[in-house]
Chains A and B, each alone.
Chain A
Amino acid sequence: MRRSLFLIIGLCPLPLAAFAGDPGLNGRWRLEAAQSSKLDGWTGVDLVIAADGPKVVLRYDMSWRQTKVSAVNRVDTWHPVSISNFFRIDQRHMAVYAQSGQPARVQAEWIDGGRTLRVEAEVTVEVSQGNQVMRLYDEFRLLEGGGELELIELHSTRNRPLVYFFARVADASPTTP
């Protein structure tokens, strides 16, 4: 598969951006709560993106009150991966719990000329009736000007999208929200 892909890259004059993310996505982004879907529970969200070719590290630095949670999803735009502790920004007032013992199958892809990272995951969650699989569809979009990031999240179980806006954090800012 990878060999074929290299062959295609070699033969076709496709822009490199089709296979790599815009470097403008890298860095620390902070949730702009007022513009975003209402988030219950969490009061601080930082998203740190580090893309190196097909390898993309998505780190979430989350906080509410005295609680700080840091979680990392490592995705690969060339291969599906299995992530044992897949993290999603959850609504804390719903009895829907992450299941660390159930790896999530995760696919990622650069689209829109590398300005959008698409991540699809099948995540097992614990609810009242036991474990259920939730299919997630995320797009991390670099917005015009490069100073804002939009995360659109769809759930196979939810009839409304969740839309979060983030602002780029200057290097001097603290590392946790």
Chain B
Amino acid sequence: MKALLTAIFVALLPAAGLRAAPAAPVRAACVMHFDGDWRVAGGLPEKAMLIGLQGLANRGAPRFYIVQAPSYQWEITGPLCDFYRSAYGVAFTEVASADQALSLFGRYVRGYVVWDRNAPTSLNVAFTIAGLEDALVVDDELIPLAERHGLRRIEDLRGRYTGKTDAQITSDARDRYWARCNHDSIILMGGQSGPIRVPGMADWGVQGRMFFENLSADPGHPDELALERRFMADLNPNGTIFGWHPYGKDTEEEHTTLLSTYGLKMEGLQSLPNLSFNSQFTFTPGFRFTNNHTIARDAHPVAGRKAYLSFIQSDGVGLGVWTKPGRGRIPLAWGAIMSWVKYSPAALEYFHESATPKDYFIGGLSGPAYMYPNHIPAARFGPLMHEARDLMAVLDERIFEIMDNSAADGNVGNADLTKETVDRYYREFPDVIGFVNGYGPARTRDLRDGRPMISYDYYVDPGRPREEVAADLDELIALNPIRPYFCLVHVRETNDVNSLIEAIGSLHGPVEVVPLDRFMRLAAGAKTYVTRYQHPDDPKHFTAFDATPKKAP
């Protein structure tokens, strides 16, 4: 698999015109390759220690980069490492062991904090302490290693949280440490629970002296929810929740809805690695984004009597499909993570440079980061979208994607926008040529000033047999008999493009797959779709939060 990804990346280099020679003076850094063992009872303790160390080592300069195993959720760490070499002139030295890493970076550490494997949430407390006290995060088995490197014990959490709930542990940590932590952002170290934990983003939190927690936003956990509300209310305006919700306790929809009511932004996932390194680079000298626009923004193409399909992958461009075979064979729009302009410019530049002519980037998701717009306070909507517009301008993007699953249940259910929300988007984005809505299918549609808002008519589940995908698309085409029919399709990140192409090839009747910008301009000129917004009577699958936060942020 690793060889395959390497081969793909190498194959892409000449096609994308990537530089073979460094564009900047050589800069030294270290790189360590991780395996895929994230078991609490296995590889996690050492990895947690190293990731925390990475955050400390990268304060002030990008010194320590981690390449994850090929099976890791973010598949770009290897290709991006190569890109740092080729485009930025970074000369990486391999770090072979934790012992060697401590020898290299021990000077950035003042001592160590011990977390308790019997109370895994204590790892979050340890990461918080690590950021505040420049501490190495160790479990009891790693204490001898830390002490061999001359580190002294700063805090020992063993036993402190035995038998305590997550709410009790986090409340205690809040009392002890929150006042000293960064109040612009917080680390929601959720994701997996139980025997596996993947705190890939901990370097970023440690580097930025952020508070770590994994509280639930499920109303069925009132103690945790109340505490989470207190953190969100305490964050500064325009604050960011980095990480991801805890899979075992609540849902993505619940947590994103909650943070949106405070006008906060979500930057995921908790497994996202290397932000402490990536954030310290700018774009290479002279680099400028030029998106693959296929049509002038004021063009008026005439649609034919056919069905038009356009495909979008919005799950974060670093996940999945980008490195899979088949990319470039059909027009595919990508939801680039716009905030990486600030946090990972090199990653965005890498995607831009390795894009094929059929890859097209769009803005989103819902704002400058992931949030649910039906719940953003009116006073925060304008400033947030101003930030989004600025990021879109840097990325040369003309189409904005919106997603609000606050009334959905997973990938299906009510993903529609209220008319008030639609009004706000049209007001705040006068320069876009169109909006996309949904994740799973939705039915919010509009056309104003020649700018369509189209929802997904179809979501390609990666596990769905391709002959059923073809039958589904054929059925949608049959059910929408007026021509042209505009069918927007969301491609889940783990899909395989080649198999998608096979499904498209078996469709019946006149069908054309078009780039998203062309799709929007065609849809602007032939409104065969019905204007619709979220209706109060539409089924809702989640309604538990008040629209108003307890304390105005």
Which residues in A have some Cβ–Cβ distance to B below 8 Å? 37-38, 40-41, 64-67, 91-97, 125-130, 132, 134, 155, 157-160
Contact B486 A128 (CB under 8 A): yes
Q: Mark B484-499, 1 if CB is under 8 A from A, else 0.
A: 0111000000000000
Across the A-B interface, the 3 shortest Cβ-Cβ residue pairs: A95-B441, A92-B412, A157-B478
B92 within 8 A of A: no
- B529 CB-CB contact with A under 8 Å: yes
The verdict on B552 contacting chain A, using a C-beta distance below 8 Å, is: no
What is the minimal beta-carbon distance from B527 to any residue of chain A, in angstroms?
Answer: 10
**How close is B531's CB to chain A, nearest CB, in angstroms?**
10
Task: Give me 16 A-to-B residue pairs in the complex whose CB atoms sit less than 8 angstroms apart, sorted by A's number.
Answer: A38-B465, A38-B468, A67-B541, A93-B440, A93-B459, A93-B472, A94-B476, A95-B442, A95-B443, A126-B443, A128-B530, A129-B480, A132-B481, A155-B475, A158-B478, A160-B471
List which B516-544 residues lie within 8 A (CB) of chain A: 528-530, 541-542
Residue-wise interface mask of B (435-475) relative to A, using a CB-CB cutoff of 8 A (1 in contact, 0 not): 00000111101000000000111111101110110011011
Q: Which residues of A contact B464 (CB under 8 A)?
A: 38, 40, 93
What is the predominant secondary structure among interface residues of chain A facing chain B? loop
- Chain A residues in 8 Å Cβ range of B411: 41, 93
Q: Select which of A92, A128, A159 is within 8 A of B480 by beta carbon.
A: A128
Docked pose: A37 CA to B410 CA in angstroms: 21
Closest to A66 in B: B409
With most chain A CB atoms within 10 A of its CB, the pick from B411, B412, B529 is B412
Complex contact B476–A129 (CB within 8 A): no
A97 to chain B: closest residue by CB: B443
Question: With A38-B464, A128-B530 given, is the CB distance from A64 to B476 under 8 Å?
Answer: no
> Which residues of the partner chain B approach A155 to less than 8 Å between Cβ atoms?
475
Interface size on B, residues (CB 8 A): 42
Do the beta carbons of B479 and A96 come within 8 Å of each other? Answer: yes
A69 nearest CB neighbor, chain B only: B539
Q: Say whether, besides A66-B541, A94-B441, A158 and B475 are in contact (CB < 8 Å).
A: yes
Cβ-defined contact, A95 with B458, below 8 A: yes
Flag if A128 contacts B471 (CB, 8 Å).
no
- Nearest-neighbour CB distance to chain A for B405, whole angstroms, equals 12
Partner of A130, one of B251, B455, B460, B530: B530
Within 8 Å CB of B541, what residues of A? 66-67
Which residue of the partner chain B has the closest CB to A155?
B475
Output the nearest chain A residue to B475 by Cβ-Cβ distance.
Answer: A158
Given contacts A93-B472, A94-B472, A129-B485, 16 further A-B contacts (CB under 8 A): A38-B465, A64-B412, A66-B541, A91-B472, A92-B413, A92-B441, A93-B458, A93-B461, A93-B464, A94-B457, A94-B475, A95-B456, A96-B475, A128-B445, A128-B528, A129-B530
Query: A-facing mask of B398-433, CB < 8 A → 1, else 0?
Result: 000000000001111100000000000000000000
Shortest CB-to-CB span from B166 to chain A, Å, is 20
Complex contacts, A95 vs chain B, CB 8 Å: 441-443, 455-458, 476
- A127–B474 CB distance below 8 A: no
Q: Are B468 and A128 interface neighbours, CB within 8 A?
A: no
Nearest opposing residue in chain B for A131, CB measure: B530
Contact B445 A159 (CB under 8 A): no
